Amino acid sequence: MTHIEVAGADRIRTVVEDLERVLLDFVRTRGITHAQYRAATDLIIESVKAGEESLLFDVFFEAEATDVGNAGREGSPEAIEGPFYLENAPQLQGPVNVMPQRPDERGVPLLFRGTVTDVDGRPLPGIELDLWHADADGLYSNIHPGIPDWNLRGRFTTDGDGAFQVRTILPPPYEIPKDGPTGRVLRALGRHFFRPAHLHVKLRGAGFEEMTSQLYFEGGDYLEDDVAGAVRDGLVIPLVTVDDPARSTEHGFDRPFVDARYDFVLERRANTSASA
């Protein structure tokens, strides 16, 4: 999709000219010299060369843009996509879905389950959840080296009752890449590089708006000072530790696990009737 298709030609002119005015005023009032201006443009070029063009902007601006979409939403809140999403993750086979993982995948086993309904509380069968998250070292497959392709990335669908469950491992808080241009900027600002532990998820279904969100865990570190500023009310869920061998066996784990639930609410597309 082109930029024009996303925004429309009139909208492009309005916002770009407004942004131009804001930046011109900024250059003038902050006394930005030509050398400083060139350093800023070089930083953007460097970030592209380092593959960080998304990271650099996502860390500073993506959460705010997501909030614009959340204003007035009836469905579950959305959260940032971040730079590590990949399309076409493996399709998992339910009813108990197991995320692709190494035989000796480290980390606390996690059972993530819940339901998907529409805004009127009706269960939604056949909704696709596209889940991706970091491993125990805070690294993502297909992005960071040394991890099997598609590890801890998978798609699965809600059952006839609009319910889902998936077995995976609990991701830790992690530092975003800090050795490139984005890290230099954050270091200069005296900021840390951590994000709180989180699951990334997209939901899709015919007739519904695709939504992108993240879930965080109560009591975790960096909930209050996420480097990306992306934690939102309604997205922080409890983790219940289950230390009962019978229940571990019931859910296919060989050791104690943590149980996390979240019930998603999806909004119908504006031009789709409730009976469609």
State in angstroms the smallest separation of the CB of 76 from Fe ion.
Answer: 18
| Part in contact with Fe ion (CB under 5 A); list of ranges 15-23, 78-86, 250-258, 260-268 | 78-86
| Part in contact with Fe ion (CB under 5 A); list of ranges 82-90, 153-161, 219-227, 257-265 | 82-90
59 vs 124, beta carbon nearer Fe ion: 59
**β partners of residue 118:** 266
96 vs 147, beta carbon nearer Fe ion: 147
State in angstroms the smallest separation of the CB of 200 from Fe ion.
Answer: 6
79 vs 258, beta carbon nearer Fe ion: 79
User: Which residue, judged by CB position, is nearest to Fe ion in the bound state?
Assistant: 82
Residue owning tokens 């809140």? 77
75 vs 82, beta carbon nearer Fe ion: 82
State in angstroms the smallest separation of the CB of 93 from Fe ion.
Answer: 25
The site string for Fe ion over 96-135 (x = CB under 5 A, - otherwise) reads: ----------------------------------------
Q: Kindly state the number of chain residues that form the binding site for Fe ion, as judged by CB under 5 A.
A: 1
State in angstroms the smallest separation of the CB of 197 from Fe ion.
Answer: 9
Greatest Cα pair distance in the chain: 68
State in angstroms the smallest separation of the CB of 198 from Fe ion.
Answer: 6
Positions that interact with Fe ion (CB under 5 A): 82
